[in-house]
Amino acid sequence: MNTNPSHVRRYELPAFDGEPPDVSARVGADLETRSTTTVLYVRGDIDAYTITRWRRVLDDAFRRASESGQLVVELNGVTFMSCRSILDLACRAQQHHDTLRVSVVKAAPSVVDRVITAAGLTPWLTVHTDLADVIPTTTDPPRPNPRVWTHHEIDRGTPTHQ
């Protein structure tokens, strides 16, 4: 794996405004950004009490991953994950399916991969047992920005390039 410091930044996601102090202690998250992948490392219990933090963590991770084109959610530090939290992850993955590839890493077979499979969520969430299986070992060239044509350019038949 490429661990060049110029390509990898890792930081802990802090407590969000208005969040009870014990919630961020119960669900911790680190985000590692690379040129081709964003990895969200999650630890703790994701349950009804911590679901709001989980959703905020996901929203932040999806926003940051939009630049790299891939989000990997590493769950090896998670001791409990409710079905609702898995569905929240899948819903966000489905919303970003055209622009973002989302994978889940859990070292041992678990309830998480069984729920994903049983609920038919595999088109949006692929489950892997090893982080190395989903993180490219080389740096891919930057993804081009999709070209958006204006109605005026399409009507004229002479698109201009930005």
Task: Convert the pLDDT of each residue in 88-130 to its tens digit.
Answer: 999 999 999 999 999 999 988 788 888 998 999 989 898 999 9
Is residue 4 one of the residues assigned to a domain? no
CATH number at residue 37: 3.30.750.24
Domain extent for 89 = 9-156
Q: Please classify residue 21 by burial: count the beta carbons closer than 10 Å to its beta carbon, then call 0-12 exposed, 13-18 middle and 19+ buried.
A: exposed
Instruction: Tell me the whole-structure pTM to 2 decimals.
Output: 0.76
Name the DSSP letter for residue 133: G
Does some domain include residue 72? yes
pLDDT above 60 (res 53): yes
Give the model confidence (pLDDT) of 137-149 as tens digits: 655 444 433 434 4
Rounded CA separation 145/67 (Å): 10
Residue 162 in any domain: the answer is: no
Please enumerate in sequence order all residues whose Cβ is within 8 A of that of 86, keeping only pairs 6 or more positions apart, or say none.
112, 115, 116, 119, 121
Whether 2 maps to a domain, the answer reads no
Please indicate, yes or no, if residue 23 is contained in any of the structural domains: yes
Q: How far apart are CA 90 and CA 96, in angstroms?
A: 10
Domain count for the chain, please give it.
1
**pLDDT value for 82:** 94
State mean pLDDT over 46-58: 94
Please check whether residue 94 lies inside any domain of the structure. yes
Give a yes or no: residue 161 inside a domain: no
Decide: 149 and 159 in contact? Cβ < 8 Å.
yes
Cα within 13 Å of Cα(99), Cβ side:
13
Residue 1 lies in a domain: no
Structure token digits, residue 116: 């994903």
